[in-house]
């Protein structure tokens, strides 16, 4: 299918409209020259095909039911000179190839260059296992092609709907729904075995008893950007929160998790009419949540202080709804005090970082070879199932480096850092602390996935996220990435707003 051509006539009308608004004096006093700020938003349905046998992991998603459709949610901003597009997809991961392919189509159809397009995944775990990273070129290719096209079309439609807009941003907090999932255990309670029979210092998702203290922090902030038409009609609200996902859905069911419920709820609270034209688009991106989930865990000491807790049993989807509504309420409270801007400048920077890939240690290779020799069947225990991963990473055939894209964007005095990986919360917090532009919105699993990203200190502690295979890059990759992003934010900071 060929992309629809943008008719020159249409371009002419758009240009004329801008001039008309400028001469009518509808442009804000702070507008430099006659530039009009515009925004447009749209959603594309990206639900994959269903009907595969849930017991057989074929190239098709092992799903037999759709609870709610998956979407690519797009927001396009235009300051009259530069444009910026955000796409947040209801997917567990976003493949770098799909993102790159979509950006090529987007540039052709709208003229927005790839460095001004962010394509990220929410990390919903019920996206029908739409994990495309390792499946490129396989039968799954069908879905990749469909997804690429649908993402690009969403941006085109948002771009078609650009209208004069006001913009504002803010920060809310919801500290009660984020829990670091890596824990030090009470000494003597039990031993934590790692992926390669080694003993580790922290355990991921360790149960609820015998916990000493979490191994890292959480980021309770919900950073958000809001755009509305001059009439007050809400166009879109995009937020970011550092929560892995919520879950608690029925088996073999496709769902966009709490991210989509938030998107819907925030529109409701903003008073967006379901039938308004064009429809309101809510968006919830994943902040930095590599080590943060929604399971309420406390240390033994804290549990003793809290006393016996009533254990609530949740119905399917009930918890996701609860978290989404709490977040939407917090955002709405902050939304009341926003300062609206008639015009802000958009600037974007992109860099490609080359990381050395992760190599297994000598001990890990020896362990993997011994497991292979013993013909231990990779069972439920992930310790033995990782031996083939270790051997794959020991192979000289694996490419020695991995290129990843990082981006920074400036929307007036709001900055956005877009990075791949499932990034640990403390990395996002460091970025926020070192950013010369504040607030900073972090968007992870953006423009590619590439596994977990712990800090060097967390690598030393061990635990699931640090294992080779789920972590694919050199152990100090997070330091290099943060330094690069802070430098880029510094460059954006020097620009006149």
Positions in the binding site for Zn ion (CB under 5 A): 422
Ramachandran region of residue 232, left (φ > 0), alpha (ψ -120 to 50) or beta?
A: left
Give the nearer residue to Zn ion in terms of CB position, either 322 or 422.
422
Displacement of CA 234 from its chain's centroid (Å): 23
Give the nearer residue to Zn ion in terms of CB position, either 245 or 393.
245
Ramachandran region of residue 61, left (φ > 0), alpha (ψ -120 to 50) or beta?
A: beta
Instruction: Name the β-bridge partners of 173.
Output: 221
Give the nearer residue to Zn ion in terms of CB position, either 123 or 159.
123
- The answer to whether the CB of 448 falls within 8 A of the CB of 99 is yes
Q: How far is the CB of 392 from Zn ion (least distance, A)?
A: 20
Chain position whose Cβ is nearest to Zn ion: 422
Q: How far is the CB of 452 from Zn ion (least distance, A)?
A: 7
| Range list of H helices, 125-206 | 141-160
Give the nearer residue to Zn ion in terms of CB position, either 203 or 422.
422
CA 352-226-318 angle, to 5 degrees, is 95
Q: How far is the CB of 422 from Zn ion (least distance, A)?
A: 5
The CA distance from 182 to 296, in Å, is 12
Give the nearer residue to Zn ion in terms of CB position, either 437 or 445.
445
Give the nearer residue to Zn ion in terms of CB position, either 112 or 243.
243
Number of H helices, E strands in the chain: 12, 21
Give the nearer residue to Zn ion in terms of CB position, either 204 or 435.
204
Q: How far is the CB of 278 from Zn ion (least distance, A)?
A: 33
Cis omega (within 30 of 0) on the bond before 480? no
Q: How far is the CB of 89 from Zn ion (least distance, A)?
A: 15
Q: How far is the CB of 290 from Zn ion (least distance, A)?
A: 7
Give the nearer residue to Zn ion in terms of CB position, either 219 or 422.
422
Q: How far is the CB of 356 from Zn ion (least distance, A)?
A: 23
Q: How far is the CB of 293 from Zn ion (least distance, A)?
A: 9
The CA distance from 124 to 89, in Å, is 9
Tokens of 318: 């009930």
Sheet with 182-185: list strands edge to edge.
Answer: 203-204, 182-185, 211-214
Ramachandran region of residue 391, left (φ > 0), alpha (ψ -120 to 50) or beta?
A: alpha
The CA distance from 51 to 362, in Å, is 44
- The answer to whether the CB of 267 falls within 8 A of the CB of 400 is no
The CA distance from 369 to 466, in Å, is 20
């Amino acid at each position: 299918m060929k992309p629809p051509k943008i008719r020159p006539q249409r371009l002419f009308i758009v240009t004329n409209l801008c001039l008309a608004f400028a001469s009518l004096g509808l442009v804000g006093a702070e507008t430099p020259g006659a530039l009009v700020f515009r925004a447009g938003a749209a959603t594309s349905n990206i639900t994959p095909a269903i009907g595969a046998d849930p017991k057989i992991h074929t190239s098709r998603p092992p799903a037999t039911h759709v609870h709610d459709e998956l979407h690519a949610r797009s927001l396009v901003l235009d300051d009259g000179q530069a444009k910026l597009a955000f796409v947040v997809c209801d997917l567990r991961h976003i493949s770098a190839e799909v993102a790159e392919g979509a950006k090529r189509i987007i540039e052709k159809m709208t003229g927005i260059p790839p460095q001004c397009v962010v394509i990220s995944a929410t990390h919903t775990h019920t996206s029908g296992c739409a994990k495309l990273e390792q499946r490129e070129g396989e039968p799954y290719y069908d879905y990749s092609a469909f997804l690429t096209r649908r993402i690009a079309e969403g941006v085109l439609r948002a771009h078609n709907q650009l209208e004069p807009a006001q913009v504002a941003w803010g920060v809310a907090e919801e500290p009660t729904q984020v829990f670091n999932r890596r824990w030090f255990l009470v000494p003597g309670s039990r031993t934590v075995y790692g992926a390669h029979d080694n003993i580790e210092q922290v355990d991921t998702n360790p149960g609820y008893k015998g916990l000493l203290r979490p191994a890292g922090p959480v980021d309770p902030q919900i950073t958000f950007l809001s755009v509305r038409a001059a009439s007050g009609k809400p166009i879109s609200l995009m937020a970011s929160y550092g929560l892995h996902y919520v879950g608690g859905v029925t088996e073999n069911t496709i769902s966009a998790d709490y991210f989509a419920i938030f998107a819907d709820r925030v529109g409701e609270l903003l008073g967006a009419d379901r039938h308004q034209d064009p429809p309101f688009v809510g968006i919830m991106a994943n902040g930095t949540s590599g080590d943060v989930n929604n399971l309420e865990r406390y240390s033994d000491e804290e549990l003793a202080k809290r006393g016996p807790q009533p254990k609530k049993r949740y119905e399917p989807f009930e918890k996701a709804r609860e978290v989404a509504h709490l977040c939407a309420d917090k955002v709405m409270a902050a939304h009341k005090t926003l300062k609206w801007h008639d015009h802000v400048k958009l600037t974007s920077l992109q860099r490609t970082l080359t990381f050395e890939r992760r190599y297994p240690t000598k001990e890990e290779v020896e362990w993997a070879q011994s497991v292979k020799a013993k013909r231990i069947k990779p069972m439920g225990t992930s310790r033995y199932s990782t031996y083939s991963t270790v051997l794959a990473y020991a192979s000289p055939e694996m490419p020695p480096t991995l290129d990843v894209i990082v981006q920074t964007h400036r929307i007036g005095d709001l900055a956005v850092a877009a990075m791949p990986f499932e990034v640990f919360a403390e990395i996002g917090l460091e970025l926020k602390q070192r950013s010369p532009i504040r607030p900073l919105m972090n968007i992870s699993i953006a423009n590619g996935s590439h596994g977990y990203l712990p800090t060097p200190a967390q690598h030393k502690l061990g635990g699931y996220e640090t294992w080779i295979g789920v972590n694919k890059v050199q152990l100090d990759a997070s330091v290099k990435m943060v330094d690069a992003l802070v430098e880029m934010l510094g460059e954006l900071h020097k620009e006149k707003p």
